[in-house]
Amino acid sequence: MWSIRERTLKMIMEASRDALPNEFGALLRAEHQIIYEIALVPGSINGPVHVIFRTYTMPLDFSYVGSVHSHPSGNTHPSDADLHMFSNTGPVHIIVGYPYNMNNFSAYTRNGDPLKLNII
């Protein structure tokens, strides 16, 4: 069962609001299936309908468990591009949607299946 710290989710929502009108994106860091931090990827490119992670700029870190990104449209369903990225970057992925409140997010597995994510 995956969980996320409430303060981490609040930070994600704030960063997503700050990125408007562009998407926000980061990697998730966890221990014992508890997401406790986000990690910004150097050189990421954020646009109105995409985030491009330059994964070659990241240090090797086994605490990364997936990704988070925002959808300014408010839709928290993954696109085909999202699903492709999920399959390459870890077991848990979060999409947050405008207006970036604590109720407008969805979590998915690397295969794009919905995932229950507890807020602690």
Phi/psi of residue 74, each to 5°? 95, -15
To the query of whether residue 37 is one of the catalytic residues in this protein, the response is: no
Task: Give the C-alpha separation, 33 to 1, whole Å.
Answer: 7
Please give the Cα distance from 81 to 52 (Å, whole number).
Answer: 10
Q: Considering 14, 23, 31, 37, which one is annotated as catalytic?
A: 23
Q: How far apart are CA 63 and CA 38, in angstroms?
A: 11
Q: Which residues of 5-17 are buried (b: 16+ CB within 10 A; e: fewer)?
A: eeebbeebbebbb
Q: What does residue 36 show for φ and ψ, rounded to 5 degrees?
A: -120, -5
35 - beta bridge partners?
A: 4, 30
Residues annotated as catalytic (active site), given as ranges:
23
